[in-house]
Structure 1
């Protein structure tokens, strides 16, 4: 998948959700200039992908897959969840949400 494909994916999901570019920026906590990912930004971080997924109500593993994201220093767990053939879509979503909540809690704890 190319950066353009990912950009198209974000734009399409945003439009289907009836969310403006500014609303997405605000709800994802990502600056407008950085959010140009919809228009072709290269290689967003895992944290940005998680924020975009949350704001667009898309499973984080799906966002990772669409962005062709492979964490260099992070966990491959979201990708493992997304590609597991034994799980239903609902199970994948639930596991991804649980995983994200643990990661977010750890980030908040380490920031203190």
Structure 2
């Protein structure tokens, strides 16, 4: 699930542009290992696939080759945020109030 979030985007990352759930599942089916291993293998393959002499018969890989990965994908810090999220330990009861608009602007 973390790998899917890192591919399609989530609260922690924008993900890969134009990659939806089906693309994420195709990536995870093609590249095996742990979450980060799969994403790193995909990145490594993608870099090789960008060379003009790259050829494949796979329709899936031809499609994946056209994705635009951002520099630093996959990001270990994003993975770590999923594994160990920083949460507010405050146990006091939450109350709703009107937002202080002047502080937001």
Q: Between Structure 1 and Structure 2, whose CA radius of gyration is higher?
A: 2
Q: TM-score, normalised by structure 1?
A: 0.26
Scaled by the length of structure 2, what TM-score is found?
Answer: 0.27
